[in-house]
């Protein structure tokens, strides 16, 4: 005799999982771009609030010489992770037994980090101490000028060998850059390194069921996405880039979603594979690079000319990555549901390359061909989460999840030094009425250790033994005819 698991009785257990299963630590991933609201039966609507609080701290590097990439354990960075929250909404209804429509809103990508305290990611403003650190303790503000003159003389002397001239020229350039970086840091004394990225996404979906029992469904539709970002690099950890500031104005652009699902109501089985496209953003950006102003003044420019050299308004392209989500559930018995989620995002293809930042990096012969990205990642992200939900009373269900996120590589950007996580989550849902329900959930995360790296490859921080938690609250409505 075949056992039947009616979705009506399991509905209380199905939706509770998503409250505690919504964030990812790789790259800029935040919401996981969940589409399960559209996969619910009948008419369904939800409003979800998520709060994230992480503790990400480590040690900076005591080596602030830009040309030396060796990591030397330094002082405490303090907690750099800013508390972060976002909303998600979804509504879906069946037009008839073949067609369904839905609209989803989420905030898919984001970042919020700030270095505070006395680390090398905060501008101190002491030119003499900065020159000493940037030159590895060899010089200070009184002696570095004489050494630059001496090395320049060797580089220009006809009695020097070609090798001596090349070495002296490189040394003079490095020392001049250290002086300029120290003066650039002084211009932003007391300021912290800070990054904030926010995004919003609105997805329209049309689904069509087919098959002998309408067990298959194909779905897809347009996606409108808005993104903005603010970045401040401060402190000797960033070497010549200290003081760099950029503001990327909000930009709206468009992509698409497509997927296929299968359901077998007799055992409460549902499986869905969802693809989201890349979205190309052409973003207006304002950048300020103090190093250019210092160099312009040293070359005899007026203050107005120096300010103009250090500021630029332009535009650049950022492509948010494509992704694939697999959502699976099946009934184990009439009151218990098992779920699995898998997500893939190719963060190794993603980069943020502000034009002025990139152009300045090309002044270094090592990066003269393509310059440097401000942010990029080495690896693709894989996320896996398994869960169980059980109806323990006619109006109450509880759930639990375990998860793993691969991260996007280690070392990674100093603006988000996390290499994936392991997680456990708990959730509960209470049906206030036959149609209305309130869900609450939480997740605890153990973050993977990561080294913070500059675009040059220099390791400037080591972040270990970090963790965080997520809290979610959801109000939902469902009417299954």
Average pLDDT, rounded, for the chain: 88
Handedness of CA 109, 117, 356, 414 (dihedral sign): negative
Task: Tell me the per-residue pLDDT of 53-100, one tens digit each, with 9 for 90 and over.
Answer: 889 999 999 998 888 889 999 899 999 988 888 889 999 999 999 999
- Predicted confidence at residue 25, as pLDDT, reads 63
Q: Which residues contact 305 (CB under 8 A, 6 or more apart)?
A: 296
- Residue 24's pLDDT band, with cuts at 50, 70 and 90, is low
Of 176, 120, 117, 115, the C-alpha closest to 150 is 176
CB 420 within 8 A of CB 405: yes
| Token couple for 342 | 């898998």
Report the half-sphere exposure of 480 (CA within 13 A, side-chain side).
12
φ, ψ for residue 8, nearest 5 deg: -60, -40
The end-to-end CA distance of the chain, in Å, is 26
Task: Tell me the per-residue pLDDT of 135-180, one tens digit each, with 9 for 90 and over.
Answer: 888 888 888 888 888 888 888 888 888 888 888 888 888 888 888 8
Highest mean pLDDT pick, 123-137, 189-203, 290-304? 189-203
CA atoms of 231 and 291, how far apart (whole Å): 16
If you write DSSP's letter for every residue of 73-109 in order, what string do you get? EEEE----BPPEEEEEEEEEEESSSSEEEEEEEE--B
In this structure, the strands spanning 467-479 and 43-55 are antiparallel
- Enumerate domains of the chain plus CATH numbers: 7-123+188-479 (2.40.160.60)
The model scores a pTM over 0.85: yes
3-state secondary structure of 161: coil
Paired with 18 in beta bridges are none
- Predicted confidence at residue 140, as pLDDT, reads 83
Task: Tell me the per-residue pLDDT of 282-327, one tens digit each, with 9 for 90 and over.
Answer: 999 999 998 888 888 877 888 888 888 889 999 999 999 999 999 9
Longest Cα pair distance anywhere in the chain, in angstroms?
99
- Predicted confidence at residue 13, as pLDDT, reads 45
- DSSP annotation of 321 reads P
If you write DSSP's letter for every residue of 442-465 in order, what string do you get? EEEEEEPPEEEE-TTS-EEEEE-S
């Amino acid at each position: 005799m075949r056992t039947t698991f009616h979705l009506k009785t399991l509905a209380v257990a199905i939706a509770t999982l998503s409250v505690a299963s919504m964030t990812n630590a790789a790259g800029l991933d935040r919401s996981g771009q969940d589409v399960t609201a559209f996969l619910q039966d009948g008419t369904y609507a939800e409003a979800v609030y998520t709060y994230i609080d992480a503790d990400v701290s480590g040690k900076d590097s005591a080596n602030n010489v830009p040309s030396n990439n060796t990591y030397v354990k330094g002082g405490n960075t303090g907690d750099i992770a800013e508390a972060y929250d976002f909303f998600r909404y979804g509504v879906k209804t069946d037009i008839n037994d073949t067609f369904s429509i839905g609209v989803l809103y989420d905030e898919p990508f984001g970042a919020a980090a700030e270095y505070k305290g006395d680390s090398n990611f905060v501008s101190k403003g002491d030119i003499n101490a900065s020159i000493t650190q940037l030159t590895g303790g060899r010089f200070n503000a009184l002696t570095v000028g004489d050494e630059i003159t001496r090395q320049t003389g060797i580089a220009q002397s006809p009695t020097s060998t070609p090798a001596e001239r090349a070495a002296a020229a490189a040394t003079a350039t490095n020392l001049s850059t250290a002086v300029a970086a120290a003066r650039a840091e002084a211009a932003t004394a007391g300021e912290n390194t800070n990054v904030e990225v926010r995004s919003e996404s609105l997805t329209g979906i049309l689904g069509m069921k087919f098959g002998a029992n309408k067990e298959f469904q194909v779905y897809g539709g347009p996606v409108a996405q808005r993104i903005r970002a603010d970045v401040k690099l401060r402190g000797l950890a960033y070497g010549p880039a200290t003081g760099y500031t950029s503001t990327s104005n909000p930009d709206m652009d468009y992509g698409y979603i497509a997927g296929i699902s299968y359901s077998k109501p007799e055992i409460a089985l549902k499986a869905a594979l969802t693809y989201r496209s890349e979205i190309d953003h052409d973003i207006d950006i304002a950048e300020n690079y103090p190093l250019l102003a210092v160099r312009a003044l040293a070359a005899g420019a007026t203050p107005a000319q120096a300010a103009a050299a250090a500021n630029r308004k332009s535009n650049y392209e950022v492509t948010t990555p494509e992704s694939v989500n697999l959502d699976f559930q099946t009934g184990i018995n009439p009151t218990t549901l098992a779920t699995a989620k898998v997500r893939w995002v190719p963060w190794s293809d993603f980069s943020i390359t502000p034009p002025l930042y990139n152009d300045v990096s090309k002044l270094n012969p090592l990066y003269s061909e393509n310059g440097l990205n401000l942010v990029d990642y080495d690896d693709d992200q894989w996320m896996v989460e398994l869960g169980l939900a059980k109806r323990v009373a006619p109006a109450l269900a509880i759930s639990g999840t375990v998860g793993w996120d691969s991260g996007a590589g280690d070392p990674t950007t100093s603006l988000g030094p996390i290499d994936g996580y392991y997680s456990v989550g708990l959730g509960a849902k209470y049906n206030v009425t036959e149609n209305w329900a309130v869900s609450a959930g939480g997740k605890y995360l153990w973050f993977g250790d990561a080294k913070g790296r500059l675009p040059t490859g220099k390791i400037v921080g080591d972040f270990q033994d970090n963790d965080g938690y997520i809290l979610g609250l959801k109000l939902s409505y469902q009417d299954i005819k």
